[in-house]
Structure 1
Amino acid sequence: MPLITIIGAGPGLGLEIARTFGRKGFDVALVARDQTKLDALAQTLADEGVHARGFTADVSQPETVVSALRSIKDELGPIDVLEFSPADPTLTPVDVLKVTMENLQPQIDFYLGGALSAVGAVLPDMIAAGTGTVLITTGGGSINPTPFLGNVNIAAAGLRNWALNLHDALRDHGVYVAHVGIRALIGGGHPDAEPSVIATAYGTLYDERREPELHYVAYDG
């Protein structure tokens, strides 16, 4: 069975991405901070016929992410798809006029630093195998900035830039990298903002393996 690993798995979009790939015949590794919640998600998927397991890690502590990915590979096999979409509600967004290095650095460390650690842990194997997929998620402000998310947008834009560069650098190696910028209040009322609907776009990116980026736009109802 191919394997997808979801960094930042939760009961919303992460679960629906797992379901989308589970229907394609994937096993699923779920990575987040709370083992109890991960076990509940894994059981939900198991009840639907998807083999899933949870592995704890904290994106703000990159060594735990690298360790979790090592355990996943040791216990479940090679990672065919890595999806990176963590969130940390304790990181406070600030208006663009109030951005300082003090409130910017934690955003950079979490989003960009976390992705560098996670993706860096799987790319060597993918390059050696000549195949693999990396899907990196940010908010839509990485493409169209919003002033009240001044510090978040800087970190997200850096992550987007890196993902697009990876797409260009790795396509000749058989590794597909794409960035997904979601400009939507997920689950906020608009039909196209439902997690199950958004998740299908990830499946399409994986199937087609062409576009370097998807700007997913939907608004709450």
Structure 2
Amino acid sequence: MGDRVAVIIGVGPGVGASVARRFGRAGYDVALVARSPGYLEELGTELQGQGVTTGWTPVDIADAPALRAAVERFGRHLGRIDVLHYNPSVFRQADPLQLDVDDLLEDVRVGVGGLLTAVQGARPAMLRGARVLATGSMAADEPWNEACSLGVQKAALRNLVRSLDATLAPDGIRAMSLTVRGTLAPDGPFAPERVAEALYAASQTTEDNWQPEVPYAG
């Protein structure tokens, strides 16, 4: 067994990258999963330059077999997964009279289904004390009708996280979603770095104080 390992699913230049940097600063080895090979190499090289042991693999999050295989490979290669962070969601501007059922299901596959796939792939490598983290949103409670699939994704994500937490808790593994009650912005209380800090802090919460949903209001 090596150092602690954080696997970040759906890494982009916002919250996902900030979470990778935050866990890297805390001494975790970091494994990155996203669709863009170019961005993964850019971020991975940056983290390696900062002394963070980093690996990455490009995967389409909607491809469940490929996602599960990638997470399983990280678990086998690194020997453990201490933190699994799930970040993806789909923004599709369409109200309920415009949204096609197939598009809704496609969005839910990415925004929710990928978490299920990733946890199932990670579970054999997760030891007591491991954590599952998900980036939630106030859209779960206050959906914008003109992008209604996002609210469906975030409400379902929160629900799934609660079921995961209840299922994993007997083995000392906990799951939580951070409900971001604001709009992400480059600076200020909803900057990606601040959200990443909140996710990191939540991951360090003791068993006695664990909550499957943590609100973040900046």
Q: Structure 1: which amino acid aligns with 2:202?
A: L
- Structure 1 residue 153 displacement after superposition: 1.1
How far apart, CA to CA, are the structure 1 residues paired with 2:214 and 2:147? 20
TM-score normalised to structure 1 length: 0.87
Taking every aligned residue pair, what percent have the same amino acid on both sides?
A: 29
Does residue 200 (structure 1) correspond to residue 197 (structure 2)? The answer is: yes
How far apart, CA to CA, are the structure 2 residues paired with 1:199 and 1:108? 23
Alignment of 1:31-180 (within 5 A): 31-88=33-90, 92-126=92-126, 129-180=127-178
Aligned-pair RMSD on alpha carbons?
A: 1.9
How far apart, CA to CA, are the structure 1 residues paired with 2:89 and 2:155? 15
TM-score normalised to structure 2 length: 0.89
More helix by share: 1
Structure 1 residues without counterparts, runs of 5 or longer: none
Preserved contact between residue 39 and residue 53 of structure 1 (Cα < 8 Å): no
- Structure 1 residue 108 displacement after superposition: 1.7
- Structure 1 residue 74 displacement after superposition: 2.7
Does residue 184 (structure 1) correspond to residue 182 (structure 2)? The answer is: yes
How far apart, CA to CA, are the structure 1 residues paired with 2:101 and 2:90? 18
Q: Structure 2: which amino acid aligns with 1:41?
A: L
Structure 2 residues without counterparts, runs of 5 or longer: none
Question: Helix, strand or coil: the match of 2:11?
Answer: coil
How far apart, CA to CA, are the structure 1 residues paired with 2:191 and 2:177? 19
Preserved contact between residue 112 and residue 157 of structure 2 (Cα < 8 Å): yes
Question: Helix, strand or coil: the match of 2:177?
Answer: strand
- Structure 1 residue 100 displacement after superposition: 4.4
Question: Helix, strand or coil: the match of 2:211?
Answer: coil
- Structure 1 residue 97 displacement after superposition: 4.5
| 102-111 or 50-59, larger mean C-alpha shift | 102-111
